[in-house]
Amino acid sequence: MRPSIIVKNAAPPAPPPGPPFSWDAIARELSGLPGGALNIAHEAVDRHAAGPRADHVALTWPDRAGGGKSLTYAELKRQTNRFANVLTTLGIVRGDRLFVLCGRSPELYIGVLGALKAGVIVCPLFSAFGPDPVRMRLELGRGNVVLTTASLYRRKLQKSAASLPDLRHVLLAAEPDGETGVPGTLDLDALMAQASDEFAVVPTGPDDPSFLHFTSGTTGTPKGALHVHGAALMHYATGRFALDLHPDDIFWCTADPGWVTGTSYGIVTPLLHGVTSIVDDADFDAERWYRILQEQGVSVWYTAPTAIRMLMKAGPELARKYRFPRLRFIASVGEPLNPEAVWWGQDNLGLPIHDNWWQTETGGIMIANTIGMDIKPGSMGKPLPGVEACIVSRVEGGGVRIVDTPDTDGELALRAGWPSMFRAYLNQDERYRKCFAGDLYLSGDLARRDADGYFWFIGRADDVIKSAGHLVGPFEVESALMEHPAVAEAGVIGKPDPVLGEMIKAFVALKKDYAPTEALRLELLGHARKRLGAAIAPKEIAFAESLPRTRSGKIMRRLLKARELGLPEGDTSTLEAM
């Protein structure tokens, strides 16, 4: 077995002398706007464009069709000003809602930031969504304007556009060799050409809405989490403490901007720090990803457990064809990172992978393995500065009790008040209130805190398996299975059993050099039993070519369970196309 700790920095340097951490101190590091106003796009773009980083590359698309493309901070300011003026000319005003349905093109980034400058609320959508999820979100979010492309509009929106009462405009960004002049839409390039480079950023306040992010539930209706401009403080702080961003970094966040990580850490955070961000707008390809890391000199890489597992599946030989001399920090989010994946990074990339934890609702990273910490593979890490986390147990009457004893399972809770906390579930006030007990936000994730202050994920409250009187977290079983050299991914569910209550069943995807044989299935059952004991080990194992997961990297255990039991699948709109 591997050691339980990777010692990354056995003696981390003492923090510099000075006042203790405060959000007010973080706010003073940003420039702000007159009268105490705060606007995310001003801090991310205009603040740098007015200073020595004006000509520094903000965004670069190294493999874009027709050659690479880059935007400096000064160019990004001009383009986002133009987009803000386009919206104003169309009568889109502060508090209106822009929905963005694009691939990772320059227009997506310009549109998001330009809309924020105008005080418009932005809702990014997955470009892989089908027509029904797009229509549903536009209805729920009462979208006023959509930024998309002709091909996406025809496939995903055209049939329902006329039935959306709040939708006033559809802006079409150009595509290589794409069609133009689609009836009922506006040509973005033509409008941008007529717009001014000058725009006075709307003086939004820290509590004014900025982003609307939809997150799936177990029912058919997604939840719309509303965030505010004050979240910039959290994005800036976590860029420093969780991702260790420095001005000369080349940063690559692989998340799609249709998911909150792709917005918070693929757009906002690196720009707040004035660094250069890599944008890759193609589908996953292991060799191309390694080539980007090498050729672009990526120094800080933020990716998802799914991507790590897919790289593992591609084999160590491919990784060893490339060199990453500038790469100094790797972080992962989307789902807890199995210990074997942490060690894989150390063995194949020369660096361990630092897991962290947060949710759409938290808006930013809450708990992390930072660069100065010893890593305990499988742990989420420790709460970041400004974040107070605890384990609680629910009590009768709807309250909670804080659990002080280490290594005790309970629900992960956070003390409310961090700047990026969501402020509402759109049109679901009661659902929002149920997320809190006093001033504690109840995450719905089960976890434990060890004696050293590290937090360990067990599972979603509705994922935990009750088998023969034991409460079993699926992540623990999945991690044990992934320690076997044949296993690339594993998903674990509880299956009704008349004796046990629930029987543990695992679905396993294999690495490329292994075949799904009966002998291997028995070997995996034995491996899990040896690692976990008879009470926790799966009783059944089924092979699968791949497992259903969201584009953010989370294995959809509830979908595995629904398919196994023939139950309704619920909201599958964020399911990754297989």
pLDDT in tens, 118-176: 999 999 998 877 888 888 899 999 999 999 999 999 999 999 999 999 999 999 999 87
Shared-domain flag, residues 225 and 283: no
Angle at the Cα of 270 from the Cα atoms of 28 and 294, rounded to 5 degrees: 145
Q: Which of 156, 384, 404 is nearest to 258 (CA)?
A: 156
519 CB-near residues (< 8 Å, 6+ apart): none
Confidence of residue 573 (pLDDT cuts 50, 70, 90): low
Q: What is the domain extent for residue 116?
A: 34-56+67-229
Question: What mean pLDDT comes out for the span 451-477?
Answer: 79
Shared-domain flag, residues 255 and 197: no
Question: 132-141, 430-439, 459-468, 530-539: which range is least confident on average?
Answer: 459-468
Q: What stretches of 30-173 show up as alpha helix (H) in DSSP?
A: 40-41, 47-49, 73-89, 106-117, 131-141, 150-156, 158-161
CA distance 302 to 371: 13
Whether 19 maps to a domain, the answer reads no
Whether 187 maps to a domain, the answer reads yes
Which position has the higher pLDDT, 235 or 14? 235
Shared-domain flag, residues 253 and 375: yes
Q: What is the pLDDT of residue 19?
A: 73
Question: Domain of 516: which CATH number?
Answer: 3.30.300.30
Q: In the numeric block, which tokens belong to residue 50?
A: 């007015």
Q: Check whether 78 has a pLDDT greater than 80.
A: yes
Which position has the higher pLDDT, 25 or 398? 25
Q: What is the pLDDT of residue 8?
A: 57
Q: What is the pLDDT of residue 423?
A: 97
Q: What is the pLDDT of residue 18?
A: 63
CA distance 72 to 48: 10
**pTM for the full predicted model:** 0.84
Shared-domain flag, residues 211 and 273: no
Confidence of residue 470 (pLDDT cuts 50, 70, 90): low
Q: Check whether 578 has a pLDDT greater than 70.
A: no
Cβ atoms 83, 110 nearer than 8 A? yes
CA distance 496 to 421: 37
Question: What mean pLDDT comes out for the span 472-493?
Answer: 87
Q: Domain end: 210, 229, 248, which one?
A: 229
Shared-domain flag, residues 471 and 456: no
Shared-domain flag, residues 146 and 262: no
Q: Which residue, chain included where needed, has tokens 């903000």?
A: 58
Whether 161 maps to a domain, the answer reads yes
Shared-domain flag, residues 204 and 238: no
Whether 29 maps to a domain, the answer reads no
- Judging by beta carbons within 10 Å of its beta carbon (0-12, 13-18, 19+), is residue 322 exposed, middle or buried? middle
Shared-domain flag, residues 236 and 322: yes
CA distance 257 to 423: 21
Q: What tens digit of pLDDT does each residue of 384-403 get?
A: 999 999 999 988 877 899 99
Q: What is the pLDDT of residue 2?
A: 72
Q: Check whether 218 has a pLDDT greater than 50.
A: no
Shared-domain flag, residues 237 and 200: no
Which position has the higher pLDDT, 566 or 455? 455
Which secondary-structure segment (H or E) carries 429? helix 429-433
Helix axes 518-532, 474-482, angle to 10 degrees: 120
Whether 547 maps to a domain, the answer reads yes
Number of structural domains, the chain? Answer: 3
Question: Domain of 244: which CATH number?
Answer: 3.40.50.12780
Q: Domain end: 460, 492, 524, which one?
A: 460
Shared-domain flag, residues 157 and 201: yes
Query: How far does the chain reach from its first CA to its final CA, in angstroms?
Result: 33
CA distance 578 to 576: 6
Confidence of residue 577 (pLDDT cuts 50, 70, 90): very low
φ, ψ of residue 133 to 5 degrees: the values are -60, -35
Q: Which residue, chain included where needed, has tokens 């009457």?
A: 397
Per residue in 557-578, is it b (16+ CB within 10 Å) or e — as a string?
A: bbbbbbebeeeeebbbbbbbee
Q: Domain end: 229, 261, 289, which one?
A: 229
Whether 576 maps to a domain, the answer reads no
Q: What percent of the chain has pLDDT above 70? A: 92
Q: What tens digit of pLDDT does each residue of 237-269 get?
A: 999 999 999 999 999 999 999 889 999 999 999
Whether 15 maps to a domain, the answer reads no
